[in-house]
Amino acid sequence: MLLRIFFGERDRYGGRPLHDAILQKARELQLAGATVLRGPMGYGRNSQVHRANLLDMSEDLPIVVEIVESEANINRLLPELEKMMGSGLVTLEKVKVIRYGDGQGT
């Protein structure tokens, strides 16, 4: 499964950035890995556009956390996300993993 979590970089949990808290929880649950992506532009439910440019540096750019894991392990994380997130979007989709390994050739 691919879990995507969308929120703004101002979002916090426990006094620190939400993406840090999500990654820490994913590590505690021993999930395989997670990636945090910071978007240069986006908008959400309120239709307010957030963008990064030199003249108007937004302090609330879009953040996406992506985690590819088994459905069972994703389901262990979902209740924790519910506690952490005030708002945001969480999506799940089935994916076909083509390659996963330690990066060393055979």
Which residue range is the domain that position 46 belongs to?
Answer: 2-93
What's the CATH code of the domain at 14? 3.30.70.120
Residue 88's identity, in one-letter code, is G
pTM assigned to the model: 0.83
Q: Does residue 99 lie within any of the structural domains?
A: no
Rounded Cα–Cα distance for residues 51 and 62 (Å): 8
Q: How many domains are contained in the chain?
A: 1
- For 42, the enclosing helix (H) or strand (E) is strand 41-43
Give me the count of residues in the chain.
106
Q: What is the pLDDT of residues 23-66, one digit of tens each?
A: 999 999 999 999 999 987 777 777 777 666 655 555 678 999 99
